[in-house]
Amino acid sequence: MSLLERDGSKKIEISSLQYDGIQKCLTELTQKTRATALLLSDINGQLIAQNGDTRQINTSVLSALAASDFAATSEMAKIVGEKARFRLLFHEGETNNVYLSNVGENHFLVIVFATSVTLGVIRVYTKKAVETLLEIVNNSSDADNGKEILNTEFNLHLNDALDSIFKK
């Protein structure tokens, strides 16, 4: 699901099959833990899937911030001589807690939950979900058909849309 391009940049794809599997797993995790919201992101902050009640949460921003949080603590770990990066991060708030857990090397989970939910419950179910998710994201299933996602016509339309959006 991750391809290296000629200039070295990376392309990551999630197939419909993978996405369904991810959503199924996240839905289960939300139900079991009674977490408010869950995000699955890649290590660079790209949001892949979200679940639970995310209406009050800007999830793409949360995803970007969580990734930098991970990246910054990994650098800190290196500086203090830690060999592996921290596997999880926990932020305790007044009403909400945020729990971040690695999903392998390239992904992580963000779990937002009320302080009334105990951390133990979150930890136990998350651990199981991480295994499932890891299997899904590492298993590059058949990518979908219709690869002509971007063609010349798309370009024209995109430019029209940009022109009308950028018009002051």
Partner 1 sequence: MFINWALQEINLKIVYYGPGMSGKTTNLEYIHSKLDSSVAGDLVSLKTKEDRTIFFDFLQLDVGRIKGKRPKFNLYTVPGQVFYASSRKIILKGVDGIVFVADSQKDRMDSNIETLLDLENNLSEEGMDIKVFPWVIQYNKRDLTGIESIDILQGELNRYKVPYFESVAVNGDGVFNTLKAIINSVILKAQKEL
Positions touching partner 1 (CB under 8 A) are 4-16, 19-20, 42-46, 48, 58, 60-61, 64-65, 68, 71-72, 75, 143-144, 147-151, 153-155, 157-159, 161-162, 165-166, 168
| Closer Cβ to partner 1, 65 or 121, answer by number | 65
| Closer Cβ to partner 1, 120 or 146, answer by number | 146
CB 22 within 8 A of CB 136: yes
Min CB(34)–partner 1 separation in Å: 26
Residue 81 makes CB contacts below 8 A (sequence gap 6+) with: none
Min CB(64)–partner 1 separation in Å: 5
Pick from 144, 102, 143, 131: nearest CA to 25? 131
| Closer Cβ to partner 1, 116 or 150, answer by number | 150
Distance CA 69, CA 147 (A): 34
Residue 36 makes CB contacts below 8 A (sequence gap 6+) with: 52, 53, 96, 112, 113, 114
Min CB(30)–partner 1 separation in Å: 18
| Closer Cβ to partner 1, 15 or 132, answer by number | 15
